[in-house]
């Protein structure tokens, strides 16, 4: 009591004293921050500088990326008439979407089987899948082509699809397995004790709760398939160039800035999709739904 009544009169600077009491805590939190920030910017710089350069060059008139910067949209016009690039982009999107959807379905089913049915054998499968991820794609692609040739399958769309799926599937499985293991079966048991049949309990409880992981795994599968040049290069049928293959061909024969334009468009699409999904995920209650998976990938 005595201190509270006396404080304002005895210490005219009570307010500043309070601030001072707050200050040490703030400074403790700030200590070492500039160093970490510099490090963070360095890392971001390494990733984003080339991206920024590509974007800038896509608007620069010079064919060889020389300065001074002269703004133009001519490369976008060139891109619009470059049928080969547009067709390759379309092929890549179709392939990646199909593979991602198949990986999502099969991967989730496989993850459920590993966690719920195999149980004790789960470790074996998880180890095998992790190992599969570490095999270099180039080696995997060559080996797959060898096997395909040996069994008389040869290059083809089917082989391209299977090869891409084989590479993407483990990612979905591992992400979903981790989520399922974290979830346990108690929630489903609870649903069943309340009268839900097994399939209903799965649909109403487990599925919404693993949706984040499934979506995250699906996006991962899409991106991996989209970028998987070695697999495309060795397994795609002749004449069926995916976007990475087409870009490779262009680069071999001489680099045109309309590829910069294409890169800028793709980056723009990715960022827009990411921001839209992030906005949905951030909405109140949204973080409880499937959209929140984006936060795990982008956020």
Partner 1 sequence: MADLRLDDVWLSYAADEPAVLRGLSIDVADGEFYAMVGPSGSGKTSILKVLGGFLAPDAGRVLLDGSDVSGVPPERRDLGIVFQSYALFPHLTVGENVGFGLRMRGMRPREQRGEVARLLELVGLPGLQARYPDELSGGQQQRVALARALVTRPKALLLDEPLSALDRKIRQEMQGELRRIQREAGVTAIIVTHDQEEALALGDRLMVLDAGEVRQEGRPSWVYSHPRNRFVATFLGSANLLSGTVEAVEPSRIDLGGPIADGLALPDDARAGDRVTVCVRPERWRLAAVGEPRDAGVTLDATVRRVQLSGQVGEALLDSELGELAVTVLSSQVAELREGTSVRLHARPREIHVLDELESAASGAATAATGPAR
Residue numbers of the site for partner 1 (CB under 8 A)? 186-187, 189-197, 200-201, 205, 208-209, 285, 288-289
Helix (H), strand (E) at residue 15: helix 14-30
- Give yes or no for a contact between 179 and 221, defined as CB atoms under 8 angstroms apart: no
**How near is the Cβ of 191 to partner 1 at its closest, in Å?**
7
Q: Which is nearer to partner 1, 81 or 193 (CB)?
A: 193
**How near is the Cβ of 80 to partner 1 at its closest, in Å?**
45
**How near is the Cβ of 189 to partner 1 at its closest, in Å?**
6
Q: Integer distance in angstroms from the first to the last C-alpha of the chain?
A: 49
Q: Which is nearer to partner 1, 136 or 285 (CB)?
A: 285
Nearest to 182, CA basis, from 95, 296, 86: 296
Q: Which is nearer to partner 1, 261 or 294 (CB)?
A: 294
**φ, ψ at 60 (rounded to 5°):** -100, 135
- Give yes or no for a contact between 260 and 54, defined as CB atoms under 8 angstroms apart: yes
**How near is the Cβ of 114 to partner 1 at its closest, in Å?**
20
- Map residue 1 onto helix, strand or coil: coil
**How near is the Cβ of 255 to partner 1 at its closest, in Å?**
49
138: Cβ–Cβ under 8 A, 6 or more apart, which residues? Answer: 230
Q: Which is nearer to partner 1, 79 or 211 (CB)?
A: 211
Q: Which is nearer to partner 1, 52 or 204 (CB)?
A: 204
Using only C-alpha atoms, the chain has a radius of gyration, in whole angstroms, of: 27
């Amino acid at each position: 009591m005595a201190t509270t009544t006396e404080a304002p009169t005895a210490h005219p600077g009570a307010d500043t004293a309070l601030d001072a009491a707050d200050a040490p805590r703030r400074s403790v939190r700030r200590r070492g921050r500039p160093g970490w920030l510099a490090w963070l910017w360095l890392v971001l710089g390494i990733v984003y500088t080339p991206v920024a350069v590509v974007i800038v060059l896509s608007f620069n008139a010079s064919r060889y990326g020389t300065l001074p910067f002269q703004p133009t949209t001519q490369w976008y016009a060139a891109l619009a008439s470059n049928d080969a690039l547009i067709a390759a982009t379309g092929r890549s999107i179709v392939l990646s979407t199909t593979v991602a959807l198949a990986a999502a379905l099969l991967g989730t089913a496989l993850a459920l089987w590993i966690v719920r049915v195999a149980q004790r054998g789960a470790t074996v499968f998880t180890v095998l899948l992790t190992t599969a991820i570490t095999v270099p794609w180039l080696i995997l692609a060559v080996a797959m082509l060898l096997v395909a040739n040996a069994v008389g399958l040869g290059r083809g769309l089917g082989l391209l699809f299977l090869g891409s799926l084989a590479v993407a599937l483990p990612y979905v499985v591992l992400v979903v397995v981790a989520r399922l293991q974290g979830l346990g079966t108690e929630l489903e048991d609870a649903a069943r004790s309340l009268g839900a049949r097994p399939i209903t309990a799965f649909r109403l409880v487990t599925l919404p709760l693993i949706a984040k992981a499934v979506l995250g795994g699906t996006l991962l599968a899409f991106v991996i398939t989209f970028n998987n040049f070695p697999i495309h290069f060795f397994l795609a049928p002749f004449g069926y160039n995916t976007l990475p293959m087409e870009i490779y061909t262009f680069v071999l024969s001489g680099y045109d800035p309309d590829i910069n334009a294409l890169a800028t468009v793709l980056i723009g699409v990715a960022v827009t999709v990411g921001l839209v999904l992030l906005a949905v995920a951030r909405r109140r209650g949204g973080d409880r739904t499937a959209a929140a998976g984006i936060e795990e990938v982008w956020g």
